[in-house]
Structure 1
Amino acid sequence: MNLTTIEKEKLAIPPLQLHYLGDRTLRQNTKRINKIDDSVRELAKQMLQTMYTENGIGLAAPQIGVHKQMIVVDCQPDNPASQPMVLINPEITKFSKDLCVAEEGCLSIPNVFLEVIRPRNIQLTYKDESGKKHKIKASGLLSRVIQHEMDHLHGILFVDRVKNSIALGEELKKKGFSIEAVQPVH
């Protein structure tokens, strides 16, 4: 199975069910994947299909109730030439000191978009769906999406990083979520 050639179609029903803010599943730590086999590749395929169907650019395994260290990313889902990434056991090895602010959203907190401060650039290592190890530098949107999705692997949601608590509370309330589900990161 070659996941880089997966169809970017939106299915009528996503193959995997998302978990939403307030669900304790999103707050649990994940375990490393020791063996990359067909079951891991099938999960990656279904995660990509779910991400595309839900109009996302990233998805982490905990968002679909799987507590494994895997994320999928495609910063240009509408570009057929853009290749999706499957990152297994990703580890950020370096963060830039240069920070930037940008608006983020999350498939687990639909229609909530707020500003988050993150390092502009990162270096990381990961394995792909074939088990090949990669070491890359990421900047811009790719850096932000990887950091956001990797937070999920540690039970952290982007709303936990929002500094403007008033805007956060108002936005969550408007969309039917409780501020009580937020666990601020300091």
Structure 2
Amino acid sequence: MSLLGDRSLHAPCEPVTDFGPALHRLVEDMFATMYAADGVGLAANQIGVAQRVFVYDCPDDEDVRHLGYVVNPRLVEAGGVEVRGPEGCLSLPGLEAPTSRFDRAVVEGADLSGAAVRVEGTGFFARCLQHECDHLDGVVYADRVTGWAKSRLRRAIRKSPWGSAPDPVRA
């Protein structure tokens, strides 16, 4: 698992062009990794693969489970009410900080065969969709944290056993 400070987390991922067996194995591996880490979403670059793929098994605010993956996702809509709420990440284990996200999101992309898919989410699931799309663009939630919360998160990162990068949270 890539941790904050790893260069792979701060570089945009490349689009998937080969929809063959390697992509199927990648998605299976991503689900296994996400479940082993008790996550609700995982982007390919979090396991060192610079391709535009993410998986999710995430509830919305009504506790409806959303399970799936998106290849070459594009966040095509983020709207509704902007909500500042706690957000965590498998690449910043044990930490979370208040982060602003919209309470509705729409992602378009493809399935394992290259067919078009559209995923719509509200509440916590919308947060997850935005979070994973950010990862694939080289952005971690810590980059979105502002004010006193950013200073507090930086201190927590420095105190963590994995936070050895000089300043992994960009200004």
TM score, norm. by length of structure 2: 0.88
Contact 2:42/2:54 (CA < 8 Å) preserved in 1? Answer: yes
RMSD between aligned residues: 1.8
- Please point out which of 113, 126, 129 is paired with 2:96: 113
For residues 83 and 140 of structure 1, the distance between their equivalents in structure 2, rounded to whole angstroms, comes to 12
Q: What do the CA deviations read for 1:148-174 (whole angstroms, capped 9, x no partner)?
A: 111111111111111122222222233
**Structure with the higher strand share, 1 or 2:** 2
Residue matched to 2:47? 64
Please tell me whether residue 170 in structure 1 is matched to residue 151 in structure 2.
no
Q: What do the CA deviations read for 1:113-163 (whole angstroms, capped 9, x no partner)?
A: 111001111122111223221123211111111111111111111111111
Judging changes above 3 Å, is the alpha-carbon distance between structure 1 residues 151 and 83 closer, same or farther for their aligned structure 2 residues?
closer
Unaligned segments of structure 1, at least 5 residues = 1-17
For residues 67 and 85 of structure 2, the distance between their equivalents in structure 1, rounded to whole angstroms, comes to 22
For residues 106 and 65 of structure 2, the distance between their equivalents in structure 1, rounded to whole angstroms, comes to 21
Unaligned segments of structure 2, at least 5 residues = none
AA paired with 2:126?
S
Please tell me whether residue 181 in structure 1 is matched to residue 168 in structure 2.
yes
Count of matched residue positions in the alignment of Structure 1 and Structure 2: 163
Q: What do the CA deviations read for 1:45-64 (whole angstroms, capped 9, x no partner)?
A: 00000100111111000111
TM score, norm. by length of structure 1: 0.81
Higher relative CO (CA 8 A, sep ≥ 6), structure 1 or 2? 2
The percent identity for this pair of structures is 30
For residues 123 and 83 of structure 1, the distance between their equivalents in structure 2, rounded to whole angstroms, comes to 13
